[in-house]
Structure 1
């Protein structure tokens, strides 16, 4: 899940950017969590960390540049896109390391370009085991492994990928998926399923339940194997903590 903040005292600007993000996500199978703020003060008070922040430079109260300076010490990894009516004001923002600039009035394509650059940046800087590129029905699909709950093979080289709130259909086999995954968090308790053990809620009989309610069967002959895999995962998880 990619978290984005929009901070602007103009509601129409917030709406335009939010619609562009939503459409980009739907077109590219990317999950976004969007938060909007009507002032720099409210963004600072939120104390939330975001992957990307669209930040208006000229706002009543504290302006965008001061807002960025206030949040930067605790949000060093947040990429800030300054939104302004005057391109020359962008020059004042280099002290707080901008990711990009958007000059009003802007076209939706400008927001789409910024989001595309964000996706490239996240893919380039992500740890090798944290991102997986899959064969989506309409082209390449890039997902964070930590956000994947379950892979379910449905036949005819079709796999359903379940995340916390979305499902995707991809091409391939579960063996091909395992060859792409460089993570000990995933195991196969059944020939038709791969599950991310980070999201297991409970095991009841021969059924696993994820934290968002997905049910995954455990084959009887694989029960012991699953218990061993889950025990090993828990031990490694505790060590990392």
Structure 2
């Protein structure tokens, strides 16, 4: 069962999106469960987790971007589609990695296009979930690459691997780890760190923060290169959905 949330303070928009979702569900024999919310506050208060969220940016109360930041800690795997009157506002949202943008007013076909892309995305993800084998302290350690947030070199050929809620200690150097990673999502903003850009929450000066609170320094001489690399990553991420 795929769980979808539609959050908008315009009931007509909610109705239009639900209609498109139901039409797609019937045409493709897909099991969708749709929940609707008329404010960001109500979406944040929900205890449910969603696979796909259609989220209005400009709402009374907390706006869509703030709402996305508040729900990310409990719904890290949710794909967010911003629905907005002004597409340029969505560009402020890179830190929550939007799946797509829908500009109002929209036709039903636009929502169906998003649903088609989403179904392709989850199918591709299920069939291509890369695993990396590392040298754990007690033997081989297998980790899903997408679930790794950062690597930190702590000296004496010891590296701490950070996932969402766990840490692991492995042997080796960061250069050896980088040679094993076949992904454009990873970058090294500092000689002691490798970071998965999928999990970057915000940048502040010479520091970046991951969505689970890891604080990573950015070397001064690498700042411009890192900013350019992260910008390219965000543009490709949005383009690929």
Provide TM-score, normalisation by structure 1: 0.52
Separation of aligned partners in 2, 1:59 and 1:43: 12
- Choose between structure 1 and 2 for higher RCO, CA contacts under 8 A separated by at least 6 residues: 2
Separation of aligned partners in 2, 1:19 and 1:116: 15
Report the alpha carbon displacement of residue 78 of structure 1 after superposing the two structures with TM.
0.3
Corresponding residue for residue 99 of structure 1: 99
Separation of aligned partners in 1, 2:22 and 2:31: 9
Corresponding residue for residue 59 of structure 1: 59
Corresponding residue for residue 5 of structure 1: 5
Cα displacement string for residues 65-98 of structure 1 (whole angstroms, at most 9, x for unaligned residues): 0000000011000000000000110111111110
Separation of aligned partners in 1, 2:127 and 2:95: 28
Number of aligned residues: 128
Separation of aligned partners in 1, 2:87 and 2:45: 28
Equivalences for residues 80-91 of structure 1 within 5 A: 80-91=80-91
Separation of aligned partners in 1, 2:72 and 2:47: 11
The structure 1 segments of at least 4 consecutive aligned residues displaced by more than 6 Å after TM superposition are none
Q: Which runs of 5+ in 1 are unaligned?
A: 129-241
Separation of aligned partners in 2, 1:76 and 1:34: 19
Cα displacement string for residues 176-232 of structure 1 (whole angstroms, at most 9, x for unaligned residues): xxxxxxxxxxxxxxxxxxxxxxxxxxxxxxxxxxxxxxxxxxxxxxxxxxxxxxxxx
Report the alpha carbon displacement of residue 47 of structure 1 after superposing the two structures with TM.
2.3
Matched, 1:40 2:40: yes
Report which of the two structures shows the higher radius of gyration computed on alpha carbons.
Answer: 1
Corresponding residue for residue 211 of structure 2: none
Q: Which runs of 5+ in 2 are unaligned?
A: 129-241
Separation of aligned partners in 2, 1:75 and 1:47: 10
Separation of aligned partners in 2, 1:121 and 1:59: 28
Separation of aligned partners in 1, 2:127 and 2:71: 25
Corresponding residue for residue 200 of structure 1: none
Corresponding residue for residue 25 of structure 1: 25
Separation of aligned partners in 1, 2:56 and 2:93: 11
Cα displacement string for residues 15-34 of structure 1 (whole angstroms, at most 9, x for unaligned residues): 00000000000001111000
Separation of aligned partners in 2, 1:118 and 1:91: 20
Separation of aligned partners in 1, 2:126 and 2:47: 24
Provide TM-score, normalisation by structure 2: 0.52
Matched, 1:50 2:50: yes
Report the alpha carbon displacement of residue 48 of structure 1 after superposing the two structures with TM.
1.2
Query: CA RMSD, aligned part only?
Result: 1.0
SS in structure 1 of the partner of residue 60 of structure 2: coil
Corresponding residue for residue 114 of structure 2: 114
SS in structure 2 of the partner of residue 105 of structure 1: coil
Report the alpha carbon displacement of residue 56 of structure 1 after superposing the two structures with TM.
0.1
Equivalences for residues 158-177 of structure 1 within 5 A: none
Report the alpha carbon displacement of residue 127 of structure 1 after superposing the two structures with TM.
5.6
